[in-house]
Structure 1
């Protein structure tokens, strides 16, 4: 979808149904531990511990309309946010790229 050019990958979304379907008990425990750790660090840094989001699949026919609303409210495109990480896919693996401060 050409309209999505410039969209920053800012969030990682995992469908709860996929967690139940594809992860074993050990994987679920590890995921829970990681999410708990993120919540604790957010709390220590004075951020909201649990945010609630609306998720729009880019395959939906109204995705472009949502994108235009986000653009009109300056929530679209490359934003220099040190709390965000860039990522790539290599085959079936998600690769988080090295952040500026990690170099």
Structure 2
């Protein structure tokens, strides 16, 4: 399993049933509540780069230059 899961909101709405969207919402709330209980930041923000974009390799090179392996990040 990958470290991160990325979902496009419009695809969740388009392809998910109401029950699936509710289950996803409930899971996200549960994660947020447990992060708060465990004193973990709820304000994390992530950079997502679509690898088929022409600039993706530039971003990977910058991350590598700063010692970040984008596959493990």
Is the TM-score greater than 0.5? Answer: yes
2:23 corresponding residue in structure 1: 30
Contact 2:35 2:41 in 1 (8 A): yes
Partner Cα separation in structure 2 for residue 14 and residue 44 of structure 1: 25
Pairs aligned (count) = 71
* RMSD of Structure 2 on Structure 1 (CA): 1.7
| CA shift for structure 1 position 54 | 1.9
The structure with more strand, counted as a fraction of residues: 1
Structure 2 gap segments, 5+ residues each: none
Partner Cα separation in structure 1 for residue 71 and residue 52 of structure 2: 21
Partner Cα separation in structure 1 for residue 58 and residue 18 of structure 2: 39
| CA shift for structure 1 position 76 | 0.7
| CA shift for structure 1 position 78 | 6.9
Between the two structures, name the one with larger relative contact order (CA 8 Å, sep ≥ 6): 1
Structure 1 gap segments, 5+ residues each: 1-8, 80-103
Residues 40 and 52 of structure 1: is their aligned pair in 2 closer, same or farther, counting only changes over 3 Å?
A: same
